[in-house]
Amino acid sequence: MRDVLLIGLYSLAAGTGIGLIGAGVLRLLRGRSITVHVSVLLAITVTAVVAGVVTVARAMFLSGHDMQVVLITVAASAVVSLTPVSYTHL
């Protein structure tokens, strides 16, 4: 049970950090179009998930190879998730 609590706390900390940065970015983009805001929100969400996964994976002391597999998988998923955002500005 303690491990699950630590995983949750690590993920929460990583997501909170990204969320605070994202809130600052959104504040700077006040007055921009709704498309810009939605795109930034999607990027914040995907980045928060990536940060949570990476933080927890590092805390698990994975081997170098296993960590590389996690990072490649998360990076590929992030690219796929954010690809539609890039088409909204065409």
Q: Is the pLDDT of residue 87 over 90?
A: no
**Unique residue bearing structure tokens 């990204």:** 18
Q: What is the pLDDT of residues 5-37, one digit of tens each?
A: 999 999 999 999 999 999 999 999 999 998 889
Q: Is the pLDDT of residue 89 over 90?
A: no
The pair of structure tokens assigned to 58 is: 């590092």
Higher per-residue pLDDT: 87 or 51? 51
Greatest pairwise CA separation for the chain in angstroms:
48
**61 DSSP assignment:** T
At 41 the pLDDT is 92
- The proportion of the chain whose per-residue pLDDT surpasses 90, expressed as a percent, equals 61
Calculate the alpha carbon distances from 85 to 3, 7, 47, 50, 88 in Å: 35, 30, 14, 17, 5
Q: Is the pLDDT of residue 73 over 90?
A: yes
At 1 the pLDDT is 79
**Unique residue bearing structure tokens 């810009």:** 36
The answer to whether the beta carbons of residues 5 and 39 sit under 8 Å apart is no
What average pLDDT does this structure show over 56-66?
86
Domain definitions of the chain by residue range: 2-87
